[in-house]
Structure 1
């Protein structure tokens, strides 16, 4: 099984993505923190007043508009490794070019619309097919369900901070995909792991 990591070049015009065995220390734990990933990504502000993580309609509209982009209309969309959702209205993901499968481009949903794609550099000897998954296997609106479940659990956690991000990613140790959330609290952090359909798999203190 090909294991995968992402190496991000902060401050650059592109991300350097790696396919292959990689450094197991980077992303080998089932307890990956959404907050840690959030800190590594672009934090540009938006004007969106709605909390994307709780807005089912906005999530569905974002998915529909992505599918209707000219380059994807009528074609299967394959996402590379991960997709990130942020309460400030952003969605960040990388997509395999249907016309040139060796190419990966970053797409960002911001201020209610998809921005122009950014070419990304790929490194490593991993198999591309093992590093992409079909958008048809998930629904963006599932984020709202996961957000509600996580917030319900946070009510019983001392000093729990509001959830700021949710992401869907491959577990490099098993090749399985799952949703992850992270709650920061007074006495520690908690990671929630959810199946593709949004059903809870585990919620534990780190």
Structure 2
């Protein structure tokens, strides 16, 4: 996937959001899409580009907070409640991570890291970034889209086919979030990655 054109478009949206932002917390960019659509790649490129320009950026991957294979909605709600809501008030946020290898709760993630000031921008990346729970805290929402067969191939190759049998159940959780709020239809930018 080439992210050069989408990268410039996203950076323009973030720049505009920063110019009009008047709250005590950071500007929040949501990068949403179904599994395998390229969210991590684009979020990483945006984060790197902003940092290269001297912007203090925190990158928050929602998958770190999903409490297991059946926890998409719970993880998104935990990030909204524990991280995004406090940040919107200019306060640090926390969320319990999930240790996917051990299949149990992991350490607490703090945003910003202890001893650091609030970042200028927070990039929230993952399925559910534009969900009803997160939407009130977003300044910009980008939706990434690719055909299911492309997304499935990318996701399974990326994760060494470890969740082949879980694809349908995970997709149903994505559908449930989209039924609550159609993040694609409400996105500031839709990027087709295939």
What is the TM-score with the length of structure 1 in the denominator? 0.29
Q: Which has the higher strand share?
A: 1
Q: Which has the higher helix share?
A: 2
Choose between structure 1 and 2 for higher RCO, CA contacts under 8 A separated by at least 6 residues.
2
